[in-house]
Amino acid sequence: MSTQPTTFTAHDGTVQELPAQPRMGFAKWLGVIGWRHLIGIIAVVFSAFPLVYVVSASLNPSGTLTGSNQLFSEVSIDAYKNLFKDPSRPYGQWYINTLIIAGVTAVSTVFLGAIAAFAFSRMRFKGRRMGLMSLLLVQMFPQLLAVVAIFLLLTWIGDIFPILGIGSRLALILVYLGGALGVNTYLMYGFFNTVPSSLDEAAKVDGAGHARIFFTIILRLVAPILAVVGLLSFIGSFNEYVIASVVVGNSADTQTLAIGLFQYVSSETNSNWVIFSAGAVLAALPPMALFIWLQKYIVAGLTAGAVK
């Protein structure tokens, strides 16, 4: 590859622009740039096709998988209407359940993680280093491996507090919060450390207590990492199937989108396809909107080690 930098570093350390390049000929353009566009277009088709397909399928009036193969041949929004009409498959209820479960989990995760990260970053206490280490180690055992234990645990807790037993959406949120500390805290801890502690000391001299320092000073300065952790947590519980299916999967009214939409197609793929596609398109809106909105923060967070 004959990449030529458009800038170069001069001997005195300043960055200087190279003199403008002469326009390249078509053959050279093809060799240097053109093929890249070709591969880029292939990559874009590969990336975007399934999404275009599902949007097209959701608008297809035939209702079936077979009929969905002719992209955008006919357009109708019947599937979107029918989605909300089947009382045995309460899509609207699933949607609300999912938004509440994922939303409450995300907000609580950010809060629990942030206060823990604040303690690790700003306070010195016995077992601090050990605590950080153990948080990382505990996370090596993902919660979904403990699904049997969680099921039996909730069955038992449900005997004492029926509102926290199997079938309870609140119980599912509490289970998800078991993973609130861990990688999140670690990400936040790193970010908190970049906020100079002279800021809190100045506030302390002015008479601010620890709570005020945390809520009014630190929390504002670390907003980007809070957004990243909140989004990752939201998407994580939005997509979660294993634990959700065991905890709230038994009754149509308590299910989440992941469980409900899976059941839509696992029984009769062909005949339910269009209505499923409509459900999928609507379901994808909140996480994709959040993702695009917070995109620049996420890319920074990803390189810091968080995996979807």
Site for other proteins in 9-38 (CB under 8 A): 9, 32-33, 36-37
- Residues numbered 109 to 148 that lie near other proteins (CB under 8 A) are 112-113, 115-116, 118-119, 123, 125, 128-129, 131-133, 136, 138, 140-148
Sign of the alpha-carbon torsion through 67, 287, 255, 253 = negative
Amino acid sitting at position 302: L
Instruction: Please write down the HEC assignment for all residues of 58-82.
Output: HCCCCCCCHHHHCCCCCCCCHHHHH
Determine the Cα–Cα distance for residues 277 and 77; give it in Å rounded to an integer: 11
- Residues numbered 72 to 101 that lie near other proteins (CB under 8 A) are none
Nearest distance, CB of residue 217 and other proteins, angstroms: 13
Q: Identify which range of 75-83, 85-93, 178-186, 218-226 contacts other proteins by CB under 8 A.
A: 178-186
Nearest distance, CB of residue 97 and other proteins, angstroms: 15
Please count the residues of this chain forming the interface with other proteins, following the rule CB under 8 A. Answer: 106
If one asks whether residue 251 binds other proteins (CB under 8 A), the answer comes out as no
Nearest distance, CB of residue 266 and other proteins, angstroms: 7
* Backbone angle region of 127, left / alpha / beta, with phi > 0 → left and psi within -120 to 50 → alpha: left
- Residues 265, 276: contact at Cβ < 8 Å? yes
Nearest distance, CB of residue 65 and other proteins, angstroms: 4
Nearest distance, CB of residue 74 and other proteins, angstroms: 16
Alpha-carbon dihedral of residues 161, 162, 167, 169, nearest 10 degrees? -60
